[in-house]
Structure 1
Amino acid sequence: MSANPITGGFNTFSGSKYNANQIRPPVQYAKPGPFTKSKLLQDCPEADIRVLKDAAAKVVAQPVSALLQLSLSANWSHITTGCVALDRCLRGGIVTRGITEICGASGVGKTQLLLQLSLTVQLPRELGGLGKAVAFICTEDTFPSKRLFQLAKVFEKRFPDQKINYMGNIYIEHVLEADDLLKCVGVRLAKLMESLRIGLIVIDSVAAIFRTYNNYIKRARDMRKLANYLLYYTNKYQCAVICVNQVATVSDAAKETPCLGLAWAHLGRTRLKLSKVPKEVKINEDLFTVRRFEIVYSPETPNEVAEFMITGGGVVDVPI
């Protein structure tokens, strides 16, 4: 069985002077022109007005002026990336709202960043995490468990006071076909979300599944179905969702264009792009390639750019 979408219903108000057996007079709409209180409410029964005001008072527990002063993201959490430059760019880290897409060419560090996020999400909130586990779905290569083990040892040394079983809090699934992915996300992931505290859902990658479609109408339908599942989970469980996308060369002017077109781009909330910079940094006789982190679009952060490196200790800042 698949996860049920969030549904709502029409509420019936009690207290009106009309009962179920009486015919209610037709509504008299206000004439065109400036809306005034008298025009809007002159034909509305006083009992109905009182019921509406009482219902509104239960929903709006604060004055409107106080609500306008609240930040739209006041109740959203962030997962630190473990890199100061990237957190500064993201205003705190990956947000637990909507779908975040990470795109980039092969070898730019997408999976490395995902592995680090799989560890940081397990940290307590005071350290930038959520204290929750990870659901990691692989659609391309096998899961890099050896690299994760190396990073887990780094985190154990970095946070010696935190007794966290990093390797035991990551739940991995391998799928290769679109139908298997939808079944995994709609059925098996739903059961996992109900039984465990999952703070991060990762799909690496969506492009490997949907680029093989010949029927683009069906592809768009399946992508929407996948997005609906993921949005349901992030809304219900306050978790972050990250989907990896590949890039393709469309023209000489657009050599790294994210795959899957607008049909997928419109389903995501934030798009992040990773790329390599023709610059290297030497640390202890070792050369490390500098990489570029770019916010392509996001509703709460400006389109900023940061630089980072990938070392044996994970995703780190570029030394000054």
Structure 2
Amino acid sequence: MSQSLDRALGNGIPLGRIVELCGLPGSGRTELCIQLCVCVQIPSELGGLEAEAVYIDTSSNFRTSRLLEIAEGCRNYVFENIDSLHESSWNTKVLKGIHYMETFGVSEFCASIILLEELLQTNDKIKLIVIDNIAFPFKADCLETDRTGILCRTITTLRKIAIQKNIAVILTNEMTTRIGIGVVGALGGVWAHCSGIRLFMAPPHVAVTHNTGKPDSVAEIKITKDGIRDCG
């Protein structure tokens, strides 16, 4: 719903790629994830994918009430005066079109990736996978060596899924401070090169980097009741 962000990405979130959203709390990472889960369900006759999404929530950020607000904002923005699309039927479709998994800790997170692979074997309508957030399960009771191994296996699996199934994978990440560098994405320098595209969110600015074949760029957005929108 932000043309500025779409342009900065080179025509929206691409299928078959891994996109990482980095930002401080309140920067709009979860807002954008929820909006993408709604937008991926827009009917094909209106230019959408008419697909489904998987939302793996590791930090209890997801709110159904916020989802419905953004769904209504999408309905008003995209469908405009189409009377045949009633609010209740659209909301029901949106709710059914998101496969939600809530995880607590590293073990449940790893189990969710296994469940994800099983789900994709029986559902070819899924075109978006969200993990919000990738860093949270590793905050406690996880050695750095174990974390590195799990993350490497996870990113390998997600990259394979993205390419073979032509699915967009969205990962949110936290920010941390590194001496001599400043504020950077969490999980270390090796992880920084794992995602295909990286967004640093600090509204009103979103910096887009690591987008293969495209120059780094900046979008200007704002967070509204209806979701992510252009400034102005």
State the TM-score, normalizing by the size of structure 1: 0.65
Q: 1:127 deviation in Å?
A: 4.4
2: distance between equivalents of 1:309 and 1:221?
37
Q: 1:253 deviation in Å?
A: 5.4
Residue 204 of structure 1 aligns to which amino acid in structure 2?
D
2:59 to 132, 140, 160: 140
The equivalences for 1:205-284 within 5 A come to 205-212=133-140, 214-251=142-179, 254=182, 256-276=183-203
1: distance between equivalents of 2:96 and 2:76?
17
CA contact (8 A) 2:30 2:62 kept: no
1:115 to 13, 34, 45: 34
Q: 1:147 deviation in Å?
A: 0.6
2:219 to 297, 306, 311: 306
Q: Aligned residue for 1:285?
A: none
Q: 1:100 deviation in Å?
A: 0.9
**Runs of 5+ consecutive residues of structure 1 not aligned to the other structure:** 1-81, 277-290
Q: 1:316 deviation in Å?
A: 0.7
2: distance between equivalents of 1:172 and 1:306?
29
1:106 pairs with 2:106: no
Asked which structure has the greater CA Rg, the reply is 1
2: distance between equivalents of 1:123 and 1:183?
30
Q: Aligned residue for 1:317?
A: 230
CA contact (8 A) 1:199 1:238 kept: yes
Structure richer in helix, relative to its length: 2
Q: Aligned residue for 1:92?
A: 11
1:195 pairs with 2:108: no
2:96 to 164, 168, 171: 168
Of stretches 126-135 and 216-225 in structure 1, the one that deviates more from structure 2 is: 126-135
Q: What CA deviation, in whole Å up to 9, does each residue of 1:78-111 have, x standing for no partner? A: xxxx211000111111111231100000001111
- Percent identical pairs in the alignment equals 29
1: distance between equivalents of 2:189 and 2:65?
36
2: distance between equivalents of 1:249 and 1:86?
26
2: distance between equivalents of 1:315 and 1:174?
24
**Runs of 5+ consecutive residues of structure 2 not aligned to the other structure:** none
State the TM-score, normalizing by the size of structure 2: 0.88
CA contact (8 A) 1:211 1:260 kept: no
Q: What CA deviation, in whole Å up to 9, does each residue of 1:217-245 have, x standing for no partner? A: 22111001111221121122111001000
**Alignment coverage as a number of residue pairs:** 222
Q: What CA deviation, in whole Å up to 9, does each residue of 1:107-139 have, x standing for no partner? A: 011111111111111124564532210100001
Q: Aligned residue for 1:83?
A: 2
Q: What CA deviation, in whole Å up to 9, does each residue of 1:150-176 have, x standing for no partner? A: 111222333136675112101110111
Indicate the SS of the match to 2:178.
coil
Q: Aligned residue for 1:3?
A: none
Indicate the SS of the match to 1:94.
coil
Q: 1:252 deviation in Å?
A: 7.5
Supply the RMSD in Å over aligned alpha carbons. Answer: 1.9
